Structure 1
Amino acid sequence: MTAREPRVVLDRIRGITWDDDFSVSLGHARSRALLMREYLRRAALWARAYGAEEAWPFFDVAEYVDPSVELDAEIAAELDAYIRGNVGTPSIQKSCRGAVHFAAVRAETKAELPDLPDMYEPLLLMFERGGGYAIEQFIDLQGVAIPRGSLENNLSATPFLTLAPATLDALDGRGRITYYAKISEGYPRSSPRGIVRRRVIGNDEETHDEAFTRNLRWEPTEYLRLYELGHNDIDHVEITEAEAAAFIETMTEKLTGNTGNTGNS
């Protein structure tokens, strides 16, 4: 893990748009749901590591990791003023304070930290892609609602580590989306020839088939339709969003040389 300076995290929080314009959050509904699920998983890992299960999921992990580390007085005052003026719900306020406080702990603590992924990074990215959340029967992300689940369920959830903005953008899209990997000899599910997706929109089930191309974007494809008609020799298998994200990020790295953010920091 690499330390993040508290002021860097504070500046990220100050750059977030928290208003009630849902257009941004709706446009990023899928990636925001993935990021929240990954936050819940990471928070469960940290909570279990420090005996903070009762505080999970939205809490200041720094208080458990090294309570002797305090925020610089100037940063603490700026953070408090910003939160009081801009961040409405107590849960989000606690998460923002926790993210900045934990940055200080990671930079200053002499304690040995566990080999766990950055707890707050998925949550910060989710905030940056459309604002906050509301906790009701589900976690409402202003465009999609997901179950909180139990700590135990989240501990065993599949990791989602591909957090590069371009990858997250590629996972967003209207409609019900199903991903497929094109497989053949030498191109298994874990390293397919390519991926395609089918988006079904509305009650009329308007269908859009798209392939992720070397142009690093989704473009229309006839592959699935031709396969259904028996005119395609290349087979395919349904895959998860996490598998699609891994392919997109690998292709992006290969074609651009940009390693992006894999979420392991």
Structure 2
Amino acid sequence: MACTSGSVQSVADKTVAAREQIVKLQQMIESQSENLKTKFFSEIDSHLSASHIGDALELAYNSDVKTEYTSEFSLDKIAAVVTKALKAVAVAQDPASKAPALSPEAIAAYTDVVNTVAEAAKSSSSSSASLSFSMTRLSPGLFAFLSASSINIKDEDTFGTEAITTTAIYYRFMQSIDDISNEAKFGEALIDASNLINMKRLQAALTDQLANGTIDLDTWSTKDDKYSEAVKRIETRLDADGTIPRLQPVLVGVQFNIKNPNDDIARGSIDRLGKMGPQYQKVVDLTKSRLLKGYY
């Protein structure tokens, strides 16, 4: 399935050139699909091996494509398709069981995982590159894998000054009887706690992009606001759950084997931004405030 954001589609509806550019982008990423799938499956094998899981069987696999302006954060259509597939997989697993991984809260948490992976693929910052692959244990024996890749094109005559990005996201659900036997306990809060760190890393990486000159202030402001909304949404769920204190990133990092370099990324960014002119002072002040509060 290939889809476009409303703002891009409105331009495409008006000009043949825009439609042709969108088709070109989607064909370019489609031409890479087999190589990307091979790389995705190889990463899955490595992560399963590291988790000591040797019996994983595929329940479902698919991919989707979304085209949008680079500054947009509107991947909900893809997230909805992925979570719908997840629900179908769980029902097929055990039609009589109400799997805890499929509570409304867990689905909301996984929607943010999908968005984080896709946004990481769009980012030009190397700081967020590792986030474009995700392995999530949704419940005992049920794993979801995501991978995303993006390409973009800039044509001011057709789309204006901002680049257009096409993102392909690949998703695969797998089942392991070994994992069910080894551990029956499941906590959806751990998904959110891990993703909270990752979403904040995207924010740190966004400031890194601004300091590198790869995005402008308007793009930074738009995307930072949207990332902040996602962070607030995740924190609200964690506060309501109360299982995992959201200000314990070290605990979550140990659980998921995640290093948290967000502070270092943010500090390095504001050091450079401070030398780039007074127009960046707002970003410097906000980032300093976040660092003082232990935000990242």
Q: TM-score range by the shorter chain?
A: under 0.3
Structure having greater relative contact order (Cα 8 Å, sep ≥ 6): 1
| TM-score normalised by the chain length of structure 1 | 0.27
| TM-score normalised by the chain length of structure 2 | 0.24
